[in-house]
């Protein structure tokens, strides 16, 4: 993998938010092992939420431990409240994801707190990380950055204002999300470029959903604008349960192919990656999985990098 680009597989977190049936812990662990053998090195494995409301994430600590045993692998978790933050700081994941919504309406529905309160949680995360010497990377993301299916259009200036507040809060990396697929490449390139000017060398992330079919085009635009943390999910699984009309993430296998065609070294064997996704399909037979590469095959002579 190029040291400048991280392809982050988020299927075990975002990918399981809307499924009717989710894999058992052992099935998740087998899939993690197979994806790692294919060359994947960055995994987001779950959210710290109560097991009664999010049972699909009840095994998050076991999955963090599994990733910890995979050579060279990096693990991320999501924390949406103070208890989740404390668990994430005490745990062994490398990255802690934090979220602020670009609109107040989505913030209340998604986190049951205001945007100001969400930023205060990031401030506490940075302080706790320093006080404990936990050494986590705090990755703060702006959801609904290109438009909100509850509140409508989102002004780029508002996203920049929120990103600047996250930088002031001390976040180590800044990410923006097209949570419901409102954006096109031009908007993505422009906003990533603008945030890059504010970020002071911090890594920039992009989290894309393929609701309107522009996910991969938007990923290419983000990479060209300087994004280095790119999220995707095996089979295009996922979606926000508090965003009407949300659909899955961009397909991880197709993202790898895109990066390789752009001349980026991924270290990932796509054919082995496609074979690994069969483990998730077996665990969730009723769940639709997507992806152009999985339906066809690599072009003759394609050079895997």
166 backbone φψ class: left, alpha, beta (φ>0; ψ -120 to 50): alpha
Q: Which residues, including other chains, have CB under 8 Å from residue 165's CB and lie 6 or more apart?
A: 119
How far apart are alpha carbons 96 and 128 in whole angstroms? 12
**Residue 177, strand partner residues:** 207
Which of the following is catalytic: 75, 148, 240, 259?
A: 240
How far apart are alpha carbons 130 and 120 in whole angstroms? 16
How far apart are alpha carbons 40 and 25 in whole angstroms? 19
How far apart are alpha carbons 243 and 252 in whole angstroms? 22
* 240: annotated active-site residue: yes
CB 188 within 8 Å of CB 222: yes
Q: How many CB atoms lie within 10 A of CB 160?
A: 18
Closest Cα to residue 47, out of 7, 117, 96, 90? 96
List active site positions: 240
């Amino acid at each position: 993998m190029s040291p400048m680009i991280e392809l982050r597989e988020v299927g075990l977190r975002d990918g399981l938010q809307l499924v009717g049936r989710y894999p058992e812990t052992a099935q998740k662990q087998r899939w993690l092992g197979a994806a790692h053998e294919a060359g994947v090195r960055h995994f987001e494995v779950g959210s710290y939420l109560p097991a009664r409301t999010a049972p699909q994430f009840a095994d998050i600590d076991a999955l963090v431990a599994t990733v910890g045993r995979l050579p060279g692998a990096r693990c991320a978790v999501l924390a949406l409240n103070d208890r989740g933050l404390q668990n994430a700081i005490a745990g062994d994941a490398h990255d802690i994801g934090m979220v602020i919504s670009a609109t107040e309406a989505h913030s209340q529905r998604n986190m049951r707190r205001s945007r100001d309160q969400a930023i205060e949680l990031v401030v506490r995360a940075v302080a706790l990380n320093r006080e404990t010497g936990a050494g986590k990377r705090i990755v703060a993301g702006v959801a609904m950055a290109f438009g909100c299916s509850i509140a409508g259009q989102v002004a780029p200036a508002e996203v920049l204002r929120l990103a600047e507040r996250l930088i002031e809060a001390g976040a180590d990396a800044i990410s923006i999300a097209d949570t419901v697929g409102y954006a096109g490449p031009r908007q993505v390139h422009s906003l990533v470029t603008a945030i890059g000017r504010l970020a002071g060398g911090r890594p920039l992330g992009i989290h894309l959903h393929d609701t309107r079919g522009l996910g991969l085009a938007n990923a290419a635009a983000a990479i060209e604008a300087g994004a280095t943390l790119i999220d995707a999910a095996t089979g295009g699984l996922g979606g926000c349960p508090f965003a009407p009309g949300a659909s899955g993430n961009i397909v991880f296998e197709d993202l790898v192919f895109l990066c390789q065609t752009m001349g980026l070294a991924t270290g990932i064997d796509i054919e082995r990656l496609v074979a690994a996704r069969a483990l998730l399909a077996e665990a969730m037979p009723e769940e639709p999985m997507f992806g152009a590469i999985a339906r066809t095959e690599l072009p003759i002579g394609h050079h895997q990098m």
